[in-house]
Structure 1
Amino acid sequence: MKKIKIKIFFLLSIAFLMQSCEDDLDVIPEDPNQLSIDEFYSQEGAYKQAIAGVYGNLSLTGTLGAGSSNIGGIDAGTSQYGRVFWYMQNLSTDEVIWSYENDPGTREIQRNIWNASNPIIRGMFSRGMFQVALANEFLRQSTTERLSSRGITDATTLSEVADYRNEARALRALAYYHLMDLFGKAAFNTENDPVGFAGPEYNRAQLFDFIETELTEILPNLKAPRSNQEGRLDQSFARMILAKLYLNAEVYIGVNKYSECADQCNAIINSGYSLALNYLNNFNADNNTSPEAIFYVQSDGVVTQNFGPTTVMINGQVGSLESNGNQFGVGGWGGALRLRKQFVQKFEGADYDNDVRNTIISGIRDIEISDVANRDQGFILAKYSNISSSGVAGISTTFVDTDFPMFRLADVYLMYAECAVRGAGNATLSQAVTYVNAIRERANNGSQSANISQNDMDLDFIIDERSRELHWEGHRRQDLIRFNKYTGGAYNWAWKGNGSNGIAISNNLKVYPIPQASLDSNPNLTQNPGY
């Protein structure tokens, strides 16, 4: 079983003493015995623990167990970074549906009828801004001047802190990237602003410029690919965010940047990654060992107990009819998650009969979901597991050891292929076919029976192949928007727009609303059109 090499937890002494940039993100104190900031940072290993706290925000919601939260006014599960990110990117699309619509916010997200009071939307905006605040606070406390004033002069420690600072900036860029993609805007704060400052509103173009500039500046100083401590980011992490920026640049800023995306893809591909021999080893309890893992958000059944994305997906996969929790090493939630018909149809045809990515379980189930609350309707999935590649189950049957695969190599291959189809001069169709066929051969246990030719490579193929390869990994909404298949009625799916067979939805839904609580607390923020 894997061991988490970077200890993930929130530093209460820092989180309590800092104030968020918005009142609705007030941090909840959980320990009456707080250290002062200077007392904390005078301890040995303090800066390593502090950067672990910044990473920890991606995994944890608090320090008193899965039900605790350091963000006030929101349920812990509703504000877990990876979970709300996954809800907004996948639950709002054709890939999956959640049975328990009495859970606050889920009905509106999966039926595309949300508004600015949705708690899941508020959870994502709050957690993203909290990530920015944590990174900013680390950067304030780790300047040359602060280190000197605390008598920190050891060359090794100074070098480590310099690395941590670059990683904090990269984690802040990730948060702003997610906020830009999901909301189209955010309050902008850096370490140069005073604590509690209500930042100005930055639109997509401003956030795009900041993220691009920031990552380009720190990239040479980040650890080389695959050389950093487990759980920490490296140069390929920064390149992945840049590649995503450029891939979606026409959506974000109205400018074609597919050649720039291909440049980043080429750099990542040449950095020593390789496809895992077994596709499903990217989604099991020791998936941190996958050779294609670029950045996975850590999960551990003991250290990071939370209701995050992999805990939700693995327990949610367990069928109401099948009661197949033992298959995944969990107790399960009896049919919480099921598949919409349009996703299932992506695997129709002889090419996918032996495709290991096709983990769909149909049994005696009806492919149609006429009643969302009926957990016996709709097929189910078996992609994620809390059992390791050697067959060892996680220590907990509720909280899983499976990391969330935010960035992996197969996505890079498919981004490169898309850039080639869209005409990037530095991405060739012949190379794109080679990359795609590598993915499909892996999916078919080395067989070339499902390989494609250059004539098969078009945008319709790319968008479907992305879903076949990357479903339930937090990409689908963004992909559908980029391919002009999300809003409008050209492509519908079950319960899109609250119609059982799907109906057209308006273009304003390409971005989520700014939460009402955030508008109330920061007068610089404005609502997105249509809300």
Structure 2
Amino acid sequence: MKKTLKYIMAALLPLTIWGCHKLDVTPKSLYTEDVFPQTEEQFQALIGPVYTSLRGHYALTYFFMQECSTDEAVLLAFGGNWYDGASYEMLHRHTWTPDHNWTTTAWNDVTGLVGTCNQTLYLLQNAPEGEAKSSSLAEVRAIRAYAYWELMDLYGGVPLDTIYPSPGLQPRASRTEVFNFVASELKAVIPDLKTEVDATTYGKPTKYFAYALLAKMYLNAEVYTGSGKYNECIAACDSIIQSGKYAVQPRSTYLKMFYPDNGPTTQSEFIFAIPYDPSTSDGYMFYGRYDLNRNLGMKYGYSGATVGSNVDPVVNQTTGNGLVNSKPSGPRATLSSFLNYFLEDTDDIRLKQWLYGPQYWDDGNPIMVATTKQGYDQFYSGSDGSAAYVYALNIDTAIQLRQNVSLLDCGNDEIAWNQGARNIKFYPDNSSSTRNQNNDVPVYRYSDILLTKAEAILRGGTATEGETALSLVNEVRSNRTTAAAWTSVSLEKLYEERCREFAWECQHRDDMIRFGKFEDTYGFKTNKDTYREIFPIPTAARTANSKLEQNPGY
């Protein structure tokens, strides 16, 4: 069953909060007493814009903020292509400013999500009382709590504006105050959130969503507030573990968890996932566009690409017989230092999410690519640079900035575009004729809960339910590799395990900060400024709201 949620735009258009909307306008709901939502379906239609807003943000903007600011992902320039005003270079090198494009976009996305939640809660307030209303209010408040967690995590203290219409421009609350607000909101809505884990609740906050977010907050509480809350983290994890609703995905189907046909019946781990559908215009789930090597479109059926009736065609040369060579953009890769976490164990199923080295057709024959000698190597100096050249596709794990080091530019030739291992965890969707994909994206998984509890124990929390940090980690690893179980575990080994388990799942920035690695030198980054553990308040936001003070260092 693919796509259990069909988001429906309803009621008023969402307004941006904290200084970007008119404060003298009295909102008028399209809903009156005789047309207020009555059924579960009608309530879901009303709150649809909340999920639409989250869906449009998570797999694009949030990915860039969480992954491209770490050693996990880097988006390179190619002869000026994809430089995009240094947006990605700044993320990698930790040189972003208050005018940085993605920093501003993320702020607008998430404050907009808060505004949509506030507006939806306003529209629901006079609906008939009942279970449908209570659970819908709880869902929206839970998503708003998540949005405030993102803001707190990315920017530190932010205004706590929970009223619609807004009473006016608000100053920033402290990071600790936002932390406490999110925790209190989640605890308040838990009684009204559903406990069912099936197609009816897939993609919606359940009680276990609330516990997962609490666990995440408590694990990072020392970063957020200066005080650890590891026992509280363990208790939140136990609320999920003891429910018996989830299980670690077996090794044989681990990769299928992330396939285009994933959903509520194809996996046992998703506590909360965001459903994506290529038929929607605001999904922005196109990892294949960014991650797939541009010569692999036909092999993976990218955006309608197909070999037709040809057998092992030469890329850029073979034509006809139904062949369509739709090419991915392919500017995003990983650093070899991050890939090394996976290369240590060739029996680990998670290694198979990476593309590197020689590439082959399904029959085992090498993929051949046609170009010219200078098209292959732009620095070729021979007089026959325009001569035809055919080579076997090989993805080099090393990344060299052959054209311009300062601009993070590899050059614009085949050598450049074939650098850097590529991730296909969210497997390219050959059923989609566009760059949008069907793959649903998990926000919280059961394996994360087990490794979170393990880490909380290692950091000083009290072990419960007979589980140790070692037993919890081995429970995950026994479903990922055929290698022998570990006999000991340290924080460093746990960090490496998290790298393997949650690659491309928007987790890594938080992990690097919590483990004290965000200031390390990696890739082409040397900046060690600790204040960059939070992003600046965007210039545009401060222009709209003069009460917003800038974060230190910016």
Normalised TM-score (structure 1): 0.82
What's the offset of the Cα at 1:43? Answer: 6.1
What's the offset of the Cα at 1:397? Answer: 4.0
Superposition pairs for residues 221-370 of structure 1, below 5 Å? 221-226=192-197, 228-271=200-243, 272-277=245-250, 278-289=253-264, 290-302=267-279, 304-306=280-282, 308=284, 310-311=285-286, 313-323=287-297, 326=300, 331-349=326-344, 351-363=345-357, 364-370=394-400
Task: State whether structure 2 residue 139 is matched by structure 1 residue 107.
Answer: no
Letter in 2 for 1:7: K
Contact 2:277 2:439 (C-alpha < 8 Å) held by counterparts: yes
Superposition pairs for residues 59-98 of structure 1, below 5 Å? 59-60=55-56, 80-98=57-75
Contact 1:357 1:443 (C-alpha < 8 Å) held by counterparts: no
What's the offset of the Cα at 1:41? Answer: 8.2
What's the offset of the Cα at 1:182? Answer: 0.6
Residue 494 (structure 1) aligned to one of 520, 523, 542: 523
- The equivalent residue for 2:381 is none
Letter in 2 for 1:359: Q
Task: State whether structure 2 residue 109 is matched by structure 1 residue 127.
Answer: yes
Aligned partners of 1:336, 1:50: CA distance in 2, in Å? 38
| 1:221-280 Cα shifts (integer Å, max 9, x gaps) | 210151553321100111111001100000000111111111111111122101222111
Contact 2:355 2:421 (C-alpha < 8 Å) held by counterparts: yes
Secondary structure of the corresponding residue to residue 353 of structure 2: coil
| 1:165-187 Cα shifts (integer Å, max 9, x gaps) | 01110000000000000100212
Shift in CA distance, 430/407, structure 1 to aligned 2, threshold 3 Å: closer
Letter in 2 for 1:316: Y
What's the offset of the Cα at 1:3? Answer: 3.1
Secondary structure of the corresponding residue to residue 354 of structure 2: coil
Aligned partners of 2:299, 2:331: CA distance in 1, in Å? 12
Secondary structure of the corresponding residue to residue 295 of structure 1: strand
Shift in CA distance, 19/293, structure 1 to aligned 2, threshold 3 Å: closer
Aligned partners of 2:123, 2:67: CA distance in 1, in Å? 37
What's the offset of the Cα at 1:459? Answer: 0.8
Aligned partners of 1:332, 1:322: CA distance in 2, in Å? 7
- The equivalent residue for 1:451 is 485
Task: State whether structure 2 residue 48 is matched by structure 1 residue 14.
Answer: no
Q: Unpaired segments of 5 or more residues in structure 1?
A: 27-33, 61-79, 388-392, 497-502
Aligned partners of 1:41, 1:86: CA distance in 2, in Å? 42
Secondary structure of the corresponding residue to residue 405 of structure 1: strand
Letter in 2 for 1:326: Y
Secondary structure of the corresponding residue to residue 443 of structure 1: coil
- The equivalent residue for 1:57 is 53
Letter in 2 for 1:348: L
- The equivalent residue for 1:185 is 157
Letter in 1 for 2:497: E
| 1:313-347 Cα shifts (integer Å, max 9, x gaps) | 22222113444652677655242221111111112
Contact 1:421 1:429 (C-alpha < 8 Å) held by counterparts: no
Aligned partners of 1:458, 1:328: CA distance in 2, in Å? 41
Aligned partners of 1:40, 1:120: CA distance in 2, in Å? 42
Shift in CA distance, 35/529, structure 1 to aligned 2, threshold 3 Å: closer
Contact 1:5 1:230 (C-alpha < 8 Å) held by counterparts: yes
Residue 514 (structure 1) aligned to one of 537, 540, 543: 537
Letter in 2 for 1:370: Q
| 1:466-489 Cα shifts (integer Å, max 9, x gaps) | 0100011011010000011102xx
Aligned partners of 1:359, 1:7: CA distance in 2, in Å? 29
Q: Which structure has the larger Rg? A: 2
Aligned partners of 2:456, 2:29: CA distance in 1, in Å? 51
Letter in 1 for 2:249: A
What's the offset of the Cα at 1:201? Answer: 1.0
Shift in CA distance, 325/252, structure 1 to aligned 2, threshold 3 Å: farther
Of Structure 1 and Structure 2, the greater helix share is in 1
- The equivalent residue for 1:480 is 512
What's the offset of the Cα at 1:375? Answer: 2.0
Residue 131 (structure 2) aligned to one of 137, 159, 170: 159
Task: State whether structure 2 residue 493 is matched by structure 1 residue 461.
Answer: yes
- The equivalent residue for 1:396 is 433
- The equivalent residue for 1:423 is 460
Aligned partners of 2:145, 2:17: CA distance in 1, in Å? 17
What's the offset of the Cα at 1:413? Answer: 1.1
Q: Unpaired segments of 5 or more residues in structure 2?
A: 305-325, 358-393, 402-408, 411-415
Alignment size in residue pairs:
468
Shift in CA distance, 185/306, structure 1 to aligned 2, threshold 3 Å: same
- The equivalent residue for 1:433 is 470
Shift in CA distance, 420/174, structure 1 to aligned 2, threshold 3 Å: same
Secondary structure of the corresponding residue to residue 285 of structure 1: coil
Letter in 2 for 1:526: E
